[in-house]
Amino acid sequence: MAKLWNGRFARGTHNLMEQFSESISFDRELAEVDIRASLAHAKMLNAVKLISTKDLSAVRKGMKEILESIRAGKFVYRTSDEDIHMAIESELTRRVGDPARRLHTARSRNDQVATDTRLWTREKIDLLSGLILNVQKALLATATREKDVVIPGYTHLQRAQPILASQHLLAYVEMLERDRERMADARKRVNRMPLGSCAMAGTTLPIDRQMVCKELGFDGLCENSMDAVSDRDFIVETLSALTLLFLHLSRFSEDVILWSGSEMGLIKLDDAWSTGSSIMPQKRNPDLMELTRGKTGRIVGSLMGMITVIKGLPMTYNRDLQEDKDPLFDAVATAELTLRCLAEFVPTIKFNRKRAASLLVDGFLDATVLAEYLVNKGLPFRSAHEVSGTLVRHAEENGLRLCEIPLEFMRGVSPLIGKDVFQCLNPQNTPKAYVSAGSAGHKEVSKALTRWKKRLAKK
Ligand code: ARG
């Protein structure tokens, strides 16, 4: 098979070399953006009179046919073409001849691939941001539906304080909001155009980069031709944002696994989203959650791979950079499917209210409110903590809940305690008493639900 650099080489490439260096098996993902960028480039070449209007029409016609054959699954990808850029150019040449041979004027695969990858990444950032928003909306709807459910909040996996389950769900809405912000921020630097930097030095031909930039919807040019073709920091940024997203999703997964496990038993996994065991009939496994947690490793791996590829690369384009695609494509595809699943799964979360109430009974979740009760009576917090601690110890030793300790005994520990103490010794009611901004009780959670409803509706 004749190569595009045929003029210079006397002998063909080793067949193993062809196999080793090809990227067409995966960079076909860039086919559509490659065509879009080529059409913008051709339009500009015509505008600055580097190609004729007849050439431009021929290129447009050929590209239209190629795009159709790609969409119809009929395009033949040949390993001998090495990558998608050469595959499309060769096919265009077969179809329209000389006009196709003019298309690569003032262009190199170096600026071409960087441009395609940015266009592709920009599209995927928009897609993924929308999918994150869907998960946020699902969390918000679930938090709204479950807004009166009180569950234990944990620190160190020990029951700590009673909270509204909605507060727990809204915590993830907030994390995902930051993830969307990070995607939007990465997008600003993704959306710069390398095209026109050519191999790395630019060109002596009178091209109009601004025109192509506008045509392709870029916010501006990559200003330095050498930086433009050689850096992939925009991929690192995108993968970093995805990594943080998945750190959040994996934490969410872990929470759901704990909630649905036999020890907590706070939710029962929906049939559609769990799997059975081939041997233990009683099982209902949280595979969606475990796989989300597991796929986080893959995303982190992509980020590490990309960082390692870039490290120490001399200026400018080096073939190492071809290794940017697999991690990027894989991470984006993984994120897309995971987010689609989560948006559907989240609304199936329904808390078992009876079980939630029973988890509040043991564990002295009202000990902190008791201390705060004493603070309200004028006791310094440290002393109040001690009184509450003493009562917890007494209750523990005697197999009692705090509200079951006789008032007389309590007054013996602190005379500040009165009959009204029993109002706060009921974990089920505690969240009604939280008042600080952002707290986990009825007042603040209800405000937060309204706030998020407005915010997410605007997006
Ligand atoms: N397939 C290459 C890549 O993905 C395209 C650029 C090749 N440029 C070159 N001079 N060999 O990076």
Share of the chain above pLDDT 70, in %: 99
Q: Atom 11 (ligand 1): residue with closest C-alpha?
A: 319
Active-site positions? 156, 277
Integer Cα distance of 345 and 353 in angstroms: 20
Please indicate whether residue 110, judged by its CB atom, sits closer than 6 Å to ligand 1.
Answer: yes
pLDDT recorded at residue 2: 61
Q: All domains of the chain, ordered by start, with CATH?
A: 15-105 (1.10.275.10), 110-353 (1.20.200.10), 358-441 (1.10.40.30)
Give residue 281's pLDDT. Answer: 77
Answer whether residue 279 shows pLDDT above 80.
no
Reported as a pLDDT band with limits 50, 70 and 90, residue 4 is low
Average pLDDT of the segment spanning 98-122: 98
* pLDDT for 56: 98
CA distance 427 to 405: 15
Percentage helix, strand, coil for the chain under 3-state DSSP, each rounded to 5: 65, 5, 30
- Atom 7, ligand 1: which residue's CA is nearest? 109
> What is the residue-averaged pLDDT of the chain?
96
pLDDT at 68: 98
Q: Is the beta carbon of 23 within 6 A of some atom in ligand 1?
A: yes
- Both tokens of 406, joined, read 């006789």
Residue 255 has pLDDT above 80, yes or no: yes
The residue nearest atom 4 of ligand 1, judged by CA position, is 322
**Whole-number pLDDT of residue 309:** 97
pLDDT in tens, 169-211: 999 999 999 999 999 999 999 999 999 999 999 999 999 999 9
Q: How confident is the model at residue 363 (pLDDT cuts 50, 70, 90)?
A: confident
pLDDT value of residue 389: 96
Using most ligand atoms within 8 A of CB, pick from 25, 82, 83 the residue to mutate for ligand 1. 83
Per-residue confidence (pLDDT) for residue 440, from 0 to 100: 98
DSSP type of residue 9:
-
- What is the pLDDT at residue 362? 87
Average pLDDT over residues 363-390: 95
Q: Which of 9-18, 94-103, 416-425 shows the lowest mean pLDDT across its residues? A: 9-18
Buried b (16+ CB within 10 A) or exposed e, 21-32: ebbbeebbbbbb
Model pLDDT, residue 213: 98
Q: Which of 145, 150, 180 is nearest to 164 (CA)?
A: 150
The pLDDT of 420-430, averaged and rounded, is 92
Q: Check whether 30 has a pLDDT greater than 90.
A: yes
pLDDT at 185: 98
Residue nearest (by alpha carbon) to ligand 1 atom 12: 322
- The fraction of the chain above a pLDDT of 90, given in percent, is 93
113 lines ligand 1 (CB under 6 A): yes
Of 53 and 5, more confident = 53
Q: Taking 80 as the threshold, does the pLDDT of residue 290 lie above it?
A: yes
CB 234 within 8 A of CB 186: yes
Find the 97 Cα to ligand 1 centroid distance in Å: 23
Is the pTM above the cut of 0.75? yes
Read off φ and ψ for residue 418, nearest 5 degrees: -120, -175
Q: What is the per-residue pLDDT for 3?
A: 66
Q: Is 322 in the pocket of ligand 1 (CB under 6 A)?
A: yes
Angle 35-39-41 (CA atoms, 0-180°, nearest 5)?
Answer: 115
121's enclosing H/E stretch is helix 109-145
What's the pLDDT tens digit per position in 115-158?
A: 999 999 999 999 999 999 999 999 999 999 999 999 999 999 99
CA 64/CA 17 separation, integer angstroms? 32
Q: What pLDDT band is residue 278 in, cutting at 50, 70 and 90?
A: confident
For residues 37 and 55, what is the distance between their CA atoms, to the nearest angstrom? 16
How does residue 459 score in pLDDT terms, banded at 50, 70 and 90? confident
To which residue do tokens 């004028």 refer?
A: 378
